[in-house]
Amino acid sequence: MGNRSAPPPDDAIARLLMERYLQAANRRAPWEPLWRDCYEHALPHSAAFTSGASPGQRRGDFLYDGTAADAVDQLAAALLAQLTPPWSRWAGLVPGPALAPDLQDQIAPLLEQAATVLQGQLDRSNFAVEAHQALLDVATGGTGCLLVEEAAPGAASALRFTAIPLADLVLEEGGEGRLDRLFRRTALPLAALQERFGPEALPAAVREQGMANPAHPFPLIEAVEPDGEGGWNWFVLMGGEEPALLSRGRFTDMPFIAFRWLKAPGETYGRSPVMKALPDIKTANKVVELVLKNASIAVTGIWQADDDGVLNPAAIRLVPGTIIPKAVGSAGLTPLASPGRFDVSQLVLDDLRARIRHALLADRLAPINGPRMTATEVLERGAEMTRLLGATFGRLQSELLVPLVRRCLGILRRRGLVPDITGDGRAASIRILSPLARAQAQRDAEVTLRWLESVSSLGPDALDAVDLAACARFLADAAGVPPALIRREKPLPATPVEPVMEGMYG
């Protein structure tokens, strides 16, 4: 056996991680002014980039136009409904290509059962609430993050989700262009630190300062990075001039699911649709402000008066029924004519609002207010959404949906709620069943139906070349019909499934 080098001490690890964090934070700094503008104009109720803000505090008083904020809410809600619709199955498990056909028939019921358990756990958890907040972040700032943790024993669900604000994240890309190195900035008082890490893990200076001021928050930095063996190392640092390592661990699957809306070449953080529409958003806000100022001038007017020693302009109040004294023979208080009118502002504002809603997809993903759509209209609307969100959906599927399902399966597998299934794409594959993912399958089904109609018009002899049972199974699969409702080609063999599972995943 070769000599294995001893691991570095905790102090050296803490200093190395702090150095990496500071370098990544310096690369993040140029993004912060842009993020602040985006959040102030499109998501004003978020305190992510508002210095000194607290929950419930009034923000956005300087905003005069709410088109962008309304469009961001609609975009996040549409993404939630199209990617991960609540109380509906949006992910499943299918046998992978590494299995033989007879093994695929045996493993399919277990995979279906595991997918049902996963969906039940997601429905009973806080996934819909936190996922919506993360989608608001990705629509506004271009980058979102969802923390997936194991809930405490006895909870309604084994899964617990937390949307991590963009203001707390410092990200780095790995060799494959994925966000596989992450730093999270938090601050906790002494009581919370002792409850989480224990009093013995805290430095003496921290305990003394915390006892002197119990409300003082101490900076913490969580670092997650690949370990080179397919897992991730997790560290918790106490920030400051002398960083200290408080805790460490290892995860099989990445617990922080970071994802982006759009990625520009050479950039780590994502770009959002709000960034694209930010010039129009600012202009519309300024136009509405000028319209309101012009309206106030039109209501109250601008007045002039002679300084005749009788009229006191400081004591005049322009309210109905007011009697204003004036000297005999003087003009008194006379209105000043306005230099111009601002009628063109409404035309400019309508055009700006239309461009904002178009950039944020509010006019494409909004619900239909007209009569009920036909089947063809439904397919065409799905095709339009796929065309608009094709690149974005591919990125969200690879950075959000698939890692999210793998992380959830890892937690449920450790709890013993599902078999030893990893969803690595070999023995078992993760299949996304969201409405946006089914749009392509629906178009394939439409092509198949048209082909069957053409073949049937050729006569009975042409139908002999068609495997109707296989066509029925393909159409059922495209429509998302549960596998339990589809009759199999042959009965299942009597071979037990447990040895097969042990051979695949053992």
**Tens of pLDDT, residues 192-206:** 888 888 777 788 888
- Biggest CA-to-CA distance, the chain: 115
Residue scoring higher pLDDT (253 or 323): 253
| Residue of 437, 503, 448, 436 whose CA lies nearest to 476 | 448
Cα separation values, 59 from 33, 54, 135, 279, 453, Å? 17, 10, 21, 21, 60
Name the amino acid, one letter, at 58.
R
Q: What's the mean pLDDT when you consider all of the chain?
A: 80
Q: Name the residue type at position 247.
A: S
Q: DSSP for 200-248? A: GGS-HHHHHHHHH-TTPPEEEEEEEEE-SSSSEEEEEEE-SSS-EEEEE
The answer on pLDDT for 462 being more than 50 is yes
**From the CA atom positions of the chain, what is the Rg in Å?**
31
Angle at which helices 435-456 and 468-479 cross, to 10°: 150
pLDDT band at 456 (very low <50, low <70, confident <90, very high): confident
Render pLDDT for 265-323 as a digit per residue (tens, 0 to 9): 888 999 999 999 999 999 999 888 888 877 776 766 666 666 666 667 677 776 665 66
Helices 67-83 and 345-359 pack at an angle, to 10 degrees, of 20
Predicted local distance difference test score (pLDDT) of residue 310: 66
Of 223, 382, 278, give the one whose Cα is nearest residue 42.
Answer: 278
SS3 content of the chain, % helix, strand, coil (to 5): 50, 15, 35
> Quick one: tokens of 489?
């080609």
DSSP states along 293-345: HHHHHHHH-EEEE---SS--GGG----TT------TTS--EEEEPPS---TTH
According to the model, what pLDDT value does residue 489 have? 59
What is the four-CA torsion angle of 226, 127, 144, 94, rounded to 10 degrees? Answer: 60
Q: Is 188 helix (H, G, I), strand (E, B) or coil?
A: strand
124-148 tens-digit pLDDT: 999 999 999 999 999 999 999 999 9
Report the half-sphere exposure of 406 (CA within 13 A, side-chain side).
Answer: 22
- 87 band by pLDDT with thresholds 50, 70 and 90: confident
The tokens of 102 are what?
A: 């007879």
Backbone angle region of 336, left / alpha / beta, with phi > 0 → left and psi within -120 to 50 → alpha = beta
Can you give the pLDDT at residue 144?
94
